[in-house]
Amino acid sequence: MNEKYIIKKEVNAFKCLRCGHEWIPRVSMAELTGTIKEKPRICPNCKSAYWDLEKKKKKK
Ligand SMILES: [Zn+2]
């Protein structure tokens, strides 16, 4: 695809630190390219509410 109406744009996206799923939130373009006001509550893939927290590595 190399059409003129297809543009590449940098937008905010999220990555689940639990399952690695990446997604773009359904917010306005202003928020996508500017500052996200609210982060998603859960990961749409694994439904984890702790998607933004990395698993703690146990020291042994
Ligand atoms: Zn996830």
3 belongs to a structural domain: no
Q: Which of 59, 52, 40 is nearest to 16 (CA)?
A: 52
What pLDDT shows up at residue 2?
81
Q: How far is the CA of 24 from the centre of ligand 1 (A)?
A: 13
Alpha helices by DSSP H, listed for the chain, are 29-33
Contact yes or no for 22/15 (Cβ under 8 A): yes
Number of domains in the chain: 1
- Distance from the alpha carbon of residue 5 to the mean position of ligand 1, in angstroms: 32
Q: Output the CA 42–ligand 1 centroid distance in Å.
A: 8
Residue 45 lies in a domain: yes
* CA 8 – CA 27 distance, rounded (Å): 18
Ligand 1 centroid – CA 20 distance (Å): 6
Residue 2 in domain: no
pLDDT tens track, the chain, 60 positions: 789 999 998 999 999 999 999 999 988 889 999 998 889 999 999 999 999 998 777 776
Tokens read off for 24: 């773009």
pTM for this model (two decimals): 0.75
Domain region containing 49? 9-53
